[in-house]
Amino acid sequence: MRIGFIGDIVGRPGRQMVRRYLQVLRESERLDFVVANYENASHGFGISEKNAQELFRAGIDVMTGGNHTWDKKEIKGLLETMPLLRPANYPEGVPGRGMQIFEVKDEPLAIVNLMGHFAMPMVDNPFIAALRIVDLLEAKGVRSILIDMHAEATSEKRALLMMLRERVSAIMGTHTHIGTDDLVIDRGCAYVTDAGLTGCRDNVIGMDEKIPIERFLTGLPGRFDVPDKCKAILQILVMEFEKGRAVDAYKIKIYSEGDTEMALKARIEE
């Protein structure tokens, strides 16, 4: 099976790039299933029902969340009615689910959403949650498992890879919005520390630069805004799984000017 993964979609510019290019990518890269992170999709903070429907129509199959999952009040109902996940390591009783199994090319594919500890909201231990979920999936005979690890700390993402690289198919890092160049297939697990944002690329992590600069200069709070017009980018990881193992992985970048590049090819480590 061939899987596409898009990291944090930031605001209208990110959604526009997905609408404009994802169906083309599904055809050109022969994608069977597409995962994306929604937590910044509606003006940078959470996701609305309207924008969720927009992104699903554009060709996304399931979306994962993170620390901004709860920013829109309507999300509680959407988590029950749409293929939207929230981090699985929120405490028991929180609405929604952090893992879902899909049938892709007559084979089960599990998508898991986790959130790290450092500089993030209070949640349960993501490593213990990951082990519990992977044990459950293996007992069900699910071999193809993709994890979105939404975390600030690179060490948490790397540690998850070291712990699960022989048991899951892919670990995709999200949250920092800055794409990393460490795409690797390690013992059959595709891994990147951060997939990078899809949205504005000419400011500060997809947001207008004025407020971030003021905050760094003064320490005073301010609300981030997503510009209506900017130079945008779509970043997508393309992976191929065979019998639960990643056998190929690469990254494509598409710019709003229409330029496309093969940004990164996975190094294979045995």
H/E stretch holding 52 reads: helix 49-57
Please report, for residues 7, 23, 171, 239, the alpha-carbon distance to residue 194 in angstroms, rounded to integers and kept in the order given.
8, 23, 10, 15
Distances (CA, A) of 70 to 42, 63, 152, 178: 12, 14, 18, 22
Tokens in use for 56? Answer: 């699903």
Q: Which of 68, 150, 175, 177 is catalytic?
A: 68
| Alpha-helix residue ranges (DSSP H) falling in 73-204 | 75-81, 126-139, 154-164
> Pick from 188, 183, 165, 166: which is nearest to 236 by CA?
183
192 phi and psi, to 5 degrees?
Answer: -145, 140
> Comparing C-alpha atoms, which of 121, 111, 103 is closest to residue 148?
111
Q: How far is 191 from 239, CA to CA, in rounded Å?
A: 10
Of 49, 50, 51, whose CA–CA distance to 13 is shortest? Answer: 51
Cβ–Cβ contacts within 10 Å for residue 205, how many?
A: 19
* 43 is annotated as an active-site residue: no
Q: Which residues are catalytic?
A: 68
